[in-house]
A = this chain, B = another copy of it.
Amino acid sequence: MKICGFLQKNNSMDERSRMVKNLLSCDNSGGEARFRRTEIDFSNMFARDLLPAKNGEEQTMQFLLEVVEILTNYIRKTFDRSTKVLDFHHPHQLLEGMEGFNLELSDQPESLEQILVDCRDTLKYGVRTGHPRFFNQLSTGLDIVGLAGEWLTSTANTNMFTYEIAPVFVLMEQLTLKKMREIVGWPDGEGDGIFSPGGAISNMYSVMIARYKFFPEVKTKGMAAAPRLILFTSEHSHYSIKKASAALGFGTENLILLKTDERGRVIPADLEAKVIDAKQKGFVPLFVNATAGTTVYGAFDPINEIADICEKYNIWLHVDGAWGGGLLMSRKHRHKLSGVERANSVTWNPHKMMGVPLQCSAILVRERGLLQGCNSMCAGYLFQPDKQYDVTYDTGDKAIQCGRHVDIFKFWLMWKAKGTVGFEQHIDKCLDLSAYLYNKIKNREGYEMVFQGEPQHTNVCFWYIPPSLRGLPDGAERRERLHKVAPKIKAMMMESGTTMVGYQPQGEKVNFFRMVISNPAATRSDIDFLIDEIERLGNDL
């Protein structure tokens, strides 16, 4: 592989001259060693030639710089609308090997040149989740400062269990969690919390802590020590509450689904009726999950009304703000979570609406000590009480994990770089864009909204009705045909690689598109493009 310089092909000769001058005039006398790129043939080099190999420093630096070039080219193209979002291939195609891209592992090492090719191919056949026209998930975009933070995190390669080996990251986590609790509205940001591997695990924590609060003996004696415990969540809530009820030994049948209004918000009266019903059966209502920003509709459950019921019946209130929590950063939109300060615990995923790279999810708990009490096992080899520093900073025993990935740094660094106001601007902009989309299609020919009225979050749910279906009366045939429209358009979208948006059915409703906007790179023109693309691909269905 030939490395022949640092210059972009479109550099003017003036620029080149200036750079060369810099190169020649730089003495670097006071500073640290600076990197340079030179000509290296990687085809005869192997991993064993890199550090810690003797004299491996130069090769190591050159190899890493070569990787960085691959990555920076990828980043450049990610933001370039003339690049496709993806280059779709079926599993069997990739498994058979695309143009020599061989996924199989072997006994003998590959050269570093091949490793660099593998890196390029991996990116080539992947999906550009940071592309301005990628709208497929709640987590989209590629924040540059967050990315830099993640590169640093990987380089530091440490673990959150003790202050001993992650002093700076442990403190950053504490300060950031406190700030998040202040924003939730708990007095002086008091309480507890931890970053966990995703919203599903954060929600699982909330159920565990609720159980520990009311029935601490379950920790030692198991579920047999408790009466029949009932959990409540809405029909529209995230499936992780159901996963938690199965995993933690409650059983999914003891998770009661609450009815929602047309917009997907819990009907508080239905909650109260079901709580009373459970109590009459001799069961114990333990836990209510209120969702702040449902996955599909983006609905916010009425937290205050739910909190009234929880207080009345002494039930733990959890707010799943994995998706909607970010709105707390916006003075304009935080009213949608009104009452969140009454929750006992809150899930909030900065990796969704706040654009932090994956993964970054926090579980916040109002009462201090519960996380520790619920999960601590006091392993002697990690949490020695006789260390020389204040061991209350060893937070690892609060976690259900032992080793824990450093998820805090990228978030902390982004917060430093954007400020609270920067997150607010980002969120307001995304909500403005979704309002633009909503207003664009609400009365447009060929579109039907899944629910009426302006969305609460950036979720815009709609059917595209191809011309061939527009005359059909509502009924089984139309429903059946409409059900197939979104999957067909999505498949063509992926084949052409121009944009990506999600679809799903919901309850009685046949497949519809769910548009979500969390990508800071998206503009009105990208929204227009999406609509044009749906019409282009769907017109003849």
Taking CB atoms, residues of chain B closer than 8 Å to A242 are 377
Give how many copies assemble into the complex.
2
Contact with B along A222-262 (1 / 0, CB 8 A): 11110010000000001110110111111111100000000
- Of the listed stretches A30-38, A299-307, A445-453, A531-539, chain B binds A30-38
Query: Are A504 and B125 closer than 8 Å at their CB atoms?
Result: no
List 28 contacting pairs A-B, 8 Å CB cutoff, sorted by A: A6-B34, A6-B37, A22-B38, A34-B69, A51-B75, A63-B148, A91-B171, A91-B393, A94-B171, A103-B175, A106-B419, A119-B413, A122-B156, A122-B169, A126-B167, A127-B158, A129-B156, A150-B154, A151-B154, A165-B500, A199-B402, A200-B399, A222-B223, A248-B248, A248-B249, A249-B250, A381-B502, A388-B490
Q: Contact check: which of B29, B168, B197, B503 meets A405 at CB < 8 Å?
A: B197
Q: Contact check: which of B38, B224, B521 meets A251 at CB < 8 Å?
A: B224
Taking CB atoms, residues of chain B closer than 8 Å to A163 are 91
Query: Are A9 and B33 closer than 8 Å at their CB atoms?
Result: yes
Q: Does A112 contact B (CB under 8 A)?
A: yes
Query: Are A165 and B251 closer than 8 Å at their CB atoms?
Result: no
Query: Are B251 and A221 closer than 8 Å at their CB atoms?
Result: yes
Q: Does A310 contact B (CB under 8 A)?
A: no
Query: Are A381 and B296 closer than 8 Å at their CB atoms?
Result: yes
- Of the listed stretches A42-50, A464-472, A473-481, chain B binds A42-50
Query: Are B416 and A166 closer than 8 Å at their CB atoms?
Result: no
Given contacts A19-B23, A119-B413, A200-B403, 4 further A-B contacts (CB under 8 A): A8-B33, A65-B68, A91-B390, A125-B168
Query: Are A401 and B201 closer than 8 Å at their CB atoms?
Result: yes
A245 to B419, CA, bound (A): 42
Query: Are B228 and A224 closer than 8 Å at their CB atoms?
Result: yes
The answer to whether A359 and B405 touch (CB under 8 A), given A5-B28, A107-B420, is yes
Query: Are A390 and B90 closer than 8 Å at their CB atoms?
Result: yes
Q: Does A380 contact B (CB under 8 A)?
A: yes
Q: Does A313 contact B (CB under 8 A)?
A: no
The answer to whether A144 and B249 touch (CB under 8 A), given A23-B20, A156-B129, is no
Q: Does A89 contact B (CB under 8 A)?
A: yes
Q: Contact check: which of B16, B23, B159, B295 meets A7 at CB < 8 Å?
A: B23
- Of the listed stretches A131-139, A271-279, A338-346, A363-371, chain B binds A131-139
Cβ-closest chain B residue relative to A132: B52
The answer to whether A27 and B9 touch (CB under 8 A), given A75-B155, A165-B129, is yes
- Residue in A34, A384, A414 with the greatest tally of chain B CB atoms within 10 Å: A34
- Residue in A4, A127, A250, A388 with the greatest tally of chain B CB atoms within 10 Å: A127
Q: Does A327 contact B (CB under 8 A)?
A: no
Q: Does A463 contact B (CB under 8 A)?
A: no
Cβ-closest chain B residue relative to A11: B36
Query: Are B119 and A152 closer than 8 Å at their CB atoms?
Result: yes
Query: Are A169 and B126 closer than 8 Å at their CB atoms?
Result: yes
Query: Are B154 and A137 closer than 8 Å at their CB atoms?
Result: no
A94 to B175, CA, bound (A): 12
Query: Are B417 and A115 closer than 8 Å at their CB atoms?
Result: yes
Q: Contact check: which of B165, B175, B223, B495 meets A127 at CB < 8 Å?
A: B165
The answer to whether A253 and B221 touch (CB under 8 A), given A107-B419, A204-B400, is yes
Query: Are A387 and B491 closer than 8 Å at their CB atoms?
Result: yes
Taking CB atoms, residues of chain B closer than 8 Å to A361 are 403
Q: Does A284 contact B (CB under 8 A)?
A: no
A217 to B416, CA, bound (A): 49
The answer to whether A35 and B68 touch (CB under 8 A), given A136-B165, A152-B122, A390-B90, is yes
A300 to B401, CA, bound (A): 22
Contact with B along A384-400 (1 / 0, CB 8 A): 10111110010000011
Cβ-closest chain B residue relative to A115: B417
Q: Contact check: which of B197, B382, B389, B520 meets A90 at CB < 8 Å?
A: B389
Q: Contact check: which of B151, B421, B494 meets A388 at CB < 8 Å?
A: B494
A104 to B171, CA, bound (A): 10
Contact with B along A66-94 (1 / 0, CB 8 A): 01111111111001000000001111101
The answer to whether A26 and B48 touch (CB under 8 A), given A147-B155, A220-B253, is no
Query: Are B34 and A254 closer than 8 Å at their CB atoms?
Result: no
Q: Does A269 contact B (CB under 8 A)?
A: no
Q: Does A39 contact B (CB under 8 A)?
A: yes
The answer to whether A413 and B33 touch (CB under 8 A), given A152-B123, A157-B142, A201-B400, is no
Taking CB atoms, residues of chain B closer than 8 Å to A130 are 157
Q: Does A208 contact B (CB under 8 A)?
A: yes
A46 to B514, CA, bound (A): 33
The answer to whether A28 and B4 touch (CB under 8 A), given A19-B38, A91-B171, A168-B122, is yes
A164 to B7, CA, bound (A): 36
A48 to B504, CA, bound (A): 35
Query: Are A417 and B112 closer than 8 Å at their CB atoms?
Result: yes
Query: Are B32 and A125 closer than 8 Å at their CB atoms?
Result: no
Query: Are A8 and B34 closer than 8 Å at their CB atoms?
Result: yes
A267 to B313, CA, bound (A): 50
Q: Does A265 contact B (CB under 8 A)?
A: no
Query: Are A157 and B147 closer than 8 Å at their CB atoms?
Result: yes
